[in-house]
Structure 1
Amino acid sequence: MKKLLMACAAIAGLFPLLAQASCESVKTDISHKIIANGVAESDFSLDILPNDQASSTGGQVVGHCENDSQKIVYTRSAESASATDDAPAP
């Protein structure tokens, strides 16, 4: 019985590490999709933030992880955003 309790405790201790890995995998998947849509990797950043901080960054929430306790926020770099703003309208 003690061995079973110890095994359960060890597995429960690994859950935070597995949850962080899943956030990183979601962030990587989103990054690949953005790059596939023609945005250069240097023109944006993705940040994993707690829910309460996600709305104050000024970026756009593009995903979530860890049972919706973390948000993945997309922010366009200043150089690429200003270049897009200066482009003439078709």
Structure 2
Amino acid sequence: MKRPVLVSTFLLLAAAPALAQQNSCERVRDEIQQRILNNGVPESGFTLSIVPNDQADKPDAQVVGHCANDTQKILYTRTSSANASSASDSAQDGSHSEPQ
């Protein structure tokens, strides 16, 4: 009866590093997200993605962090709702960018 327990324990220990790396990436992403929010960027104005290093070269995305022993990158991408809200905010406050 000890054999199934040993196998289960081995499988759990083998999976632990992968689980810890994913948890580490999520923790780093959450910390970066909080810093961005603290700087006044609305939550709907950006996305953060965790990608393997070889997929980090994306247009319109900026690497803002790394995790999992530097095998993963965290990418920041502005969403279109952030651009739309900036334009509508300018129009609502009465300011005009064009000379009158």
The two structures have a TM-score, normalised by structure 1, of 0.78
Q: Greater CA radius of gyration, 1 or 2? A: 2
Report sequence identity in percent.
Answer: 45
Whichever residue aligns with residue 10 of structure 1, its letter is: L
Q: Aligned Cα RMSD in Å?
A: 2.2
Task: Give the equivalent residue in structure 1 for 2:71.
Answer: 69
8 Å Cα contact 2:37-2:43 kept in structure 1: yes
- Gaps of at least 5 residues in structure 2 are 91-96
- Gaps of at least 5 residues in structure 1 are none
Query: Is 1:40 the equivalent of 2:42?
Result: yes
Change (3 A) 1:13 1:79: closer
The two structures have a TM-score, normalised by structure 2, of 0.71
Aligned length: 83
Offset at residue 10 of structure 1 (A): 3.4
Q: Structure 1 stretches (4+) deviating beyond 6 angstroms? A: none
